[in-house]
Structures are given as structure tokens and as C-alpha cells.
Amino acid sequence: MATACRLAAPLGLAPLPRGRASAGVVAVAQCGSKIPRGGVAIRATSGGEGATEEVPEIVKAAQDAWDKVEDKYAVATIGVAAIVALWTVVGAIKAIDKLPLLPGVLEIVGIGYTGWFTYRNLIFQPDREALIGKIKSTYKEITGSSS
């Protein structure tokens, strides 16, 4: 119990307020202090019947997927680069959105490009297969994987 008391300060835990506990508030004893009259002592325990907590299914799936990755450094680098790119693009879009006429023009250009890209790459099956092949080859180039 003494080690738990010593660990509380380095963890940055604030001391509990002193004085009488108001109605509905549970008083918890600090290390080495007494429980106030009418207070309740709470103690965390490990093990026991109620300690079995299942990990959510999505966490298990993510852990399995991460364990299957061969080059974790490359995947982590791509993830960080994607987050930085997204942050940069959001900042640029916010800056452009403040300009008076440019957002409307860029919206029309974006709608036109989206329509062209959809027609060119997504509508017909051979075009979709070519796009998927190009994405896979680009991924292999980036990660350096041979499979």
C-alpha cells in the first residue's frame, strides 16, 4: 500500500479536498489518512470474478491486422504522412474558403473532375480493374513489398 501512495504524486494526481463530503459524494481516503465519518472507502483490486473484461471485436481485428503487417515502419510512416497531408489540405481549404469568389469556382471544378474521374475509372469493369491494379502497384512501390 505504501508504494501506491508514493506513486500518486509522480502521476500528477491532485489531492482530494478536505472537509465534509456533501450529500451524494463518496469520500475516498488518501494514503495514510483516515476516512471521514460517514465516508466510504474504495479500494481497487485485481483479479476476482468481475475483473474479466473482454476486448471489443474491432480492437481484436485491428490487432490481428497489425500483427499480419510485415513492414510496420512503412505502414506507420504512410499513416503519419496521411495525417499530415490531411491536416495540410484542411488548412489550405480553410484559407481558400475565406476568399470571396474562389470557393464557388473551385466547387464547380471539383464537381466536374469528380464526374470525369467516375466516368473514366469507375463505371466500366475493365477501367475499375485497371485502377485497382494501378493502386496495388503504387502501394508495392511505396512499401517495397514483393507479394
* Inside any domain, residue 121: yes
Q: How far is CA 95 from CA 19, 105, 111, in A?
A: 53, 15, 20
Alpha helices in the chain (DSSP H): 2-8, 57-68, 72-97, 102-117, 125-143
Over the stretch 7-45, which tens digit does the pLDDT of each residue have? 444 455 555 555 554 444 444 555 555 655 665 666 666
Over the stretch 98-117, which tens digit does the pLDDT of each residue have? 888 888 888 999 999 999 99
141 and 113, same structural domain? yes
* pLDDT value at residue 48: 56
* Inside any domain, residue 120: yes
* pLDDT value at residue 36: 57
* Inside any domain, residue 112: yes
107 and 87, same structural domain? no
93 and 118, same structural domain? no
For 72, phi then psi, to 5°, come to -65, -30
Q: 28: Cβ–Cβ under 8 A, 6 or more apart, which residues? A: 16, 39, 40, 41, 42
Q: 66: Cβ–Cβ under 8 A, 6 or more apart, which residues? A: 72
Q: How many domains does the chain have?
A: 2
Indicate the average pLDDT of the chain: 77
The cell numbers describing 90, all together, are 484542411
